[in-house]
Amino acid sequence: MTPADVQGVHLLEEESFPDPWSEKSITESLEQSFSLCLAAEEEDILVGYLIFYRNLDEGEILRIAVKSDHRREGIGAQLIAGMRKYCEQKGIHRVMLDVRAGNTKAGKFYKKQGFVRDGMRKHFYANPDDDAVLMSRRY
């Protein structure tokens, strides 16, 4: 991801999440030395992205999204594969994430990528109210 992608990422945030990140938040993530920000493009058009933070030998997927008309094409799996390669290079052995309990499609995607359920946080999300399913994967 580059600064030129920030506006497109923000638009995809608005399409994908009830609590989209601002362009400022996306830019701040892009500028952090401990972040990995990946963009997936088809014919120079942003179709997906992933924002990942690392802390020592662990990391967390903070955001991942694929345009609705490009889902189920393997783009999300390619973004996860890019993150996995980064984890290998940086010595990251565990990746965590949380997903809305009501987002069963995302939960199935993460499970297919090798993530397992670790627990739940009740009423973690607002607008709409939802629990967070905590998941992780070891590399």
Residue 127 has pLDDT above 90, yes or no: no
CATH, residue 46: 3.40.630.30
Neighbours of 112 (CB within 10 A): 11
Q: Are strands 116-125 and 45-55 parallel, antiparallel or unpaired?
A: unpaired
- Which residues span the domain enclosing 30? 3-138
pLDDT in tens, 55-83: 999 999 999 999 999 999 999 999 999 99
Cis status, amide bond into 3, omega within 30 of 0? no
Please give the tally of structural domains in the chain: 1
